[in-house]
């Protein structure tokens, strides 16, 4: 599909250049002067810009969709990890609360500390997944499915169709110019030429207005895509950094508690042996 679009774009540009050459050839006779040529060049530039904007916004839309899919997959996997971690937390707390060991309570205390720490870590993971969903996936999904991009594309497609119609009308004007030169003074041919030129002028005027609207809309969408996607990526990175920092704090605190229990256990063993 992309190859066909590129080939069609190149073909339209070739046709536009041929039209300019024809207009220059007949410019000296009073029809299709330099103003028309300049307009054609401006429209060619606008068409090329719209083509680039179309490719850019389409690529950004695909990237946004990829981010949404990746984040949603991460949320699904993370939710399963939260479920497993919560079960481990419950089992550890159950063992600690039952306190069935007859040889001290060191493991009991350690298991309760582990259960509390694990509960905090799973809560942090749940908050991270919520942030990923509400502040990353949902806004990007809304942009992918939103109206601004489709509206801008529709404008660009309408402009493209009108441009093709103007190209065909330009060729028709050139053909009628040739007939007038071959049969000078023929009022019917002159009248048909004037009618064709008036239609071309209307097409060019409408095409210019529509092209500017389409270019403005597409440029606005591109800017929004670039800005919003970058902001969502920053949110993703900052949320994960904050999550890992809090997890590290919990683990370091848990490690300190476990080593304290271990020292108490060693000290009790030494006292009993004496």
Q: Please give the average per-residue pLDDT across 187-194, as a whole number.
A: 88
pLDDT tens, position by position, 98-124? 877 767 788 888 999 999 999 999 999
Task: In whole angstroms, give the CA distance from residue 209 to residue 115.
Answer: 67
Mean pLDDT for the chain? 83
**pLDDT band, very low/low/confident/very high, at 142 (cuts 50, 70, 90):** very high
**Per-residue b or e along 87-126, where b marks 16 or more CB atoms closer than 10 Å to that residue's CB:** eebeebbebbeeeeeeeebbbbbbbbbbbbbbbbbbebbe
Q: What is the pLDDT of residue 183?
A: 85
Q: What is the pLDDT of residue 261?
A: 81
Q: Is the pLDDT of residue 23 over 50?
A: no
Q: What is the pLDDT of residue 98?
A: 84
pLDDT tens, position by position, 199-226? 999 998 898 899 999 999 999 999 999 9
**pLDDT band, very low/low/confident/very high, at 250 (cuts 50, 70, 90):** very high
Which domains are assigned to the chain? 1-23+37-94+106-273 (1.20.1270.60)
Task: In whole angstroms, give the CA distance from residue 39 to residue 42.
Answer: 5
Q: Is the pLDDT of residue 270 over 60?
A: no
**pLDDT band, very low/low/confident/very high, at 66 (cuts 50, 70, 90):** very high
**pLDDT band, very low/low/confident/very high, at 26 (cuts 50, 70, 90):** very low
Q: Which of 225, 217, 228, 230 has its CA nearest to residue 49?
A: 217
């Amino acid at each position: 599909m992309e190859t066909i679009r590129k080939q069609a774009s190149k073909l339209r540009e070739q046709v536009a250049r041929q039209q300019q050459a024809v207009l220059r050839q007949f410019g000296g006779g009073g029809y299709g002067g330099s103003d028309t040529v300049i307009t054609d060049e401006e429209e060619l530039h606008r068409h090329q810009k719209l083509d680039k904007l179309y490719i850019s916004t389409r690529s950004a839309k695909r990237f946004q969709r990829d981010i949404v899919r990746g984040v949603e997959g991460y949320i699904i996997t993370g939710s399963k990890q939260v479920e497993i971690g919560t079960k481990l937390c419950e089992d550890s707390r159950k063992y600690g609360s039952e306190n069935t060991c007859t040889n001290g309570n060191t493991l009991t205390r350690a298991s309760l500390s582990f259960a509390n720490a694990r509960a905090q870590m799973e809560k942090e993971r749940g908050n991270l997944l919520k942030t990923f969903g509400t502040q990353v996936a949902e806004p990007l999904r809304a942009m992918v499915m939103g109206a601004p991009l489709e509206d801008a594309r529709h404008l660009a497609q309408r402009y493209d169709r009108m441009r093709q119609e103007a190209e065909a009308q330009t060729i028709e004007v050139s053909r009628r110019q040739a007939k007038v030169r071959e049969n000078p003074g023929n009022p019917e041919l002159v009248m048909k030429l004037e009618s064709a030129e008036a239609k071309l002028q209307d097409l060019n005027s409408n095409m210019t207005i529509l092209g500017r609207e389409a270019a403005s809309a597409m440029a606005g969408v591109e800017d929004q895509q670039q800005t919003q996607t970058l902001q969502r990526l920053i949110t993703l990175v900052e949320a994960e950094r904050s999550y890992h920092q809090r997890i590290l704090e919990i683990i370091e605190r848990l490690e300190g508690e476990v080593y304290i229990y271990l020292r108490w256990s060693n000290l009790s063993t030494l006292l009993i042996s004496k």
